[in-house]
Amino acid sequence: MSSELAGAFFEACDRGEVDALRDLLDREPGLTHARDPQGATGLHVAVRHPEAVRLLIERGADPNARDVGDHALPLHFAVGHGPLDSVRALLDGGSDPRGPDDLHRLDAIGWAACFDDARRDVIDLLVERGARHHVFSAIALGDPDLVRRVVEEDPEALARRLSPFEQEQTALHYVVAPPDGLVGGRFRTGEHYATLALLIELGAELDARDADGRTPLEIAMLHGDREAARILHEAGATASVPAVEPSPERAPDSTGGIRGLAPMLAVPDIERTLAWYRSVGFELDGTHAGADGRLDWASVSFGPARIMFVPAGGAWRDADRLTLWIRTDRLDELHATLRRRQLARAGAALRGEAADGPEIPFTRDLHSAFYGQREFGILDPDGVELNFYQPIDGDGS
């Protein structure tokens, strides 16, 4: 088949243009098995459009085909951000409601529960069709009774881990803080401390280490979560805590490692905002669209000045506050210094001792992001997030 025909097919899938799809499939039935440059099938691309999903399945598209990036079914993407009717159409078409073996080790039910707000109507449908909860989906739903039932029914439930992309977090790590990556969940509102206590009661390993060697207590201390740290500490959890250091007179990276600063603003309508900034002379540096096709990040510049935008109230982790992105070529040194200080101060707080200087709560520990940079984030006393980053290629210029 021609690349032009394939391009038109995937564009019609993305837009949900059923008449165009029908015409293209009449001309080339094999399009149902075609892959786009990212390794997705038409069904993966079309999940926002139930009628397009139904047509593709009627024409022979495989509802159990895996994409290349996440080894995920179309169902995974549908339960994450597609309408309920698309989920139902895929299940009616024969998609496996469990959706095991995806890259994130979450199964389809985890994609509906653990990335953002849990989609309870979708989860109910998956369970009705045969999906089973695991400990992470139960935690994300904020349902202690469900957590208890999952653990009682599966002796290995508490040994389950997320993937290396989520630092192989255990249930205890996950309930304390999201991994440094895509998986998050919005259940950590204060009521999750009861789930933390329950997991400890059920026998979760207190000092299990994630792929970066951190215990749940160290995660709580890094994030400045004193209540989680207290619960874990009183249960007997341990952490490697350095001695408290005196506060320096200036930041450890103040002598030349910083290469630039850009604010990131949460705005109601990225397209409208971009149009305004470009009208006054800003250049568009780049954009990123989510799986639903809508822009979820954009960057503009005016000479050396740069501003980034995310949608207000969206799934992006920084969508509800001002964030500052600071580029440095001394990322590891800066991270090690600030991390050591935060752990020392949190350790002093656990022991009831006074520490010199304020806490430096981390929003994310050092990790490699999928968009090509290593980064970590901290919060200032007013809730402004400072994200320090360095390109993975090491170019700090």
Smallest Cα–Cα separation from 185: which of 104, 99, 97?
104
User: What pLDDT is attached to residue 334?
Assistant: 92
pLDDT digits (tens, 9 = 90+) for 24-40: 999 999 999 999 999 99
User: What pLDDT is attached to residue 94?
Assistant: 97
Choose between 64 and 239: higher pLDDT: 64
User: What pLDDT is attached to residue 397?
Assistant: 37
Asked which of 10-19, 221-230, 337-346 is least confident by mean pLDDT, the reply is: 337-346
User: What pLDDT is attached to residue 280?
Assistant: 80
- CA-to-CA distance for 38 and 379, rounded, in angstroms? 35
* Identical fold, 3-128 and 135-234: yes
Choose between 85 and 322: higher pLDDT: 85
Q: What is the pTM of this model?
A: 0.85
Contact status, residue 42 vs residue 9, Cβ threshold 8 Å: yes
User: What pLDDT is attached to residue 55?
Assistant: 98
| pLDDT category of residue 182 using cuts at 50, 70 and 90 | confident
Choose between 155 and 396: higher pLDDT: 155
Mean residue pLDDT across the chain: 90
Q: Would strands 295-302 and 362-369 be described as parallel, antiparallel, or unpaired?
A: unpaired
User: What pLDDT is attached to residue 395?
Assistant: 47
pLDDT greater than 50 at residue 277: yes
- CA-to-CA distance for 163 and 103, rounded, in angstroms? 7
- CA-to-CA distance for 161 and 183, rounded, in angstroms? 13
pLDDT greater than 80 at residue 255: no
Q: Report CA 332 to chain centroid distance, whole Å.
A: 23
User: What pLDDT is attached to residue 291?
Assistant: 66
What lies within 8 Å, CB to CB, of 151 at 6+ separation is 135, 157, 158, 202
Q: Which CATH architecture has domain 258-391?
A: Roll (3.10)
pLDDT greater than 70 at residue 176: yes
Nearest 5°: phi and psi at 15?
-90, -10
Compute the average pLDDT of residues 198-225. Answer: 96
Compute the average pLDDT of residues 342-362. Answer: 87
User: What pLDDT is attached to residue 279?
Assistant: 85
CB-based burial, 60-86: b 16+ in 10 Å, e otherwise: ebbbebbbeebebbbbbbbbbbbeeeb
Handedness of CA 300, 306, 312, 315 (dihedral sign): positive
Q: Which CATH architecture has domain 135-234?
A: Alpha Horseshoe (1.25)
User: What pLDDT is attached to residue 242?
Assistant: 65
Contact status, residue 357 vs residue 374, Cβ threshold 8 Å: no
pLDDT greater than 60 at residue 319: no
| pLDDT category of residue 222 using cuts at 50, 70 and 90 | very high
pLDDT greater than 50 at residue 303: yes
pLDDT greater than 60 at residue 318: no
Q: Quick one: three-class SS letters along the chain? A: CCHHHHHHHHHHHHHCCHHHHHHHHHHCHHHHHCCCCCCCCHHHHCCCCHHHHHHHHHCCCCCCCCCCCCCCCHHHHHHHHCCHHHHHHHHHCCCCCCCCCCCCCCHHHHHHHCCCCCCHHHHHHHHHCCCCCCHHHHHHCCCHHHHHHHHHHCCCHHHCCCCHHHCCCCHHHHHHCCCCCCCCCCCCCCCHHHHHHHHHHCCCCCCCCCCCCCCHHHHHHHCCCHHHHHHHHHCCCCCCCCCCCCCCCCCCCCCCCEEEEEEEEEECCHHHHHHHHHHCCCEEEEEEECCCCCEEEEEEEECCEEEEEEECCCCCCCCCCCEEEEEECCHHHHHHHHHHHHHHHHHHHHCCCCCCCCCCCEEEEEEEECCCEEEEEEECCCCCEEEEEEECCCCCC
Amino acid identity of residue 33, one-letter, is: H
Give the start-to-end residue ranges of the domains of the chain: 3-128, 135-234, 258-391
User: What pLDDT is attached to residue 240?
Assistant: 77
pLDDT digits (tens, 9 = 90+) for 104-128: 999 999 999 999 899 999 999 999 9
pLDDT greater than 70 at residue 246: no
User: What pLDDT is attached to residue 63?
Assistant: 98
User: What pLDDT is attached to residue 256?
Assistant: 56
Show the tokens assigned to 153.
């029914």
Q: What share of the chain has pLDDT > 90, as a percent? A: 70
For domain 3-128, which CATH number applies: 1.25.40.20, 1.10.1270.20, 3.40.50.10540, 1.10.760.10?
1.25.40.20
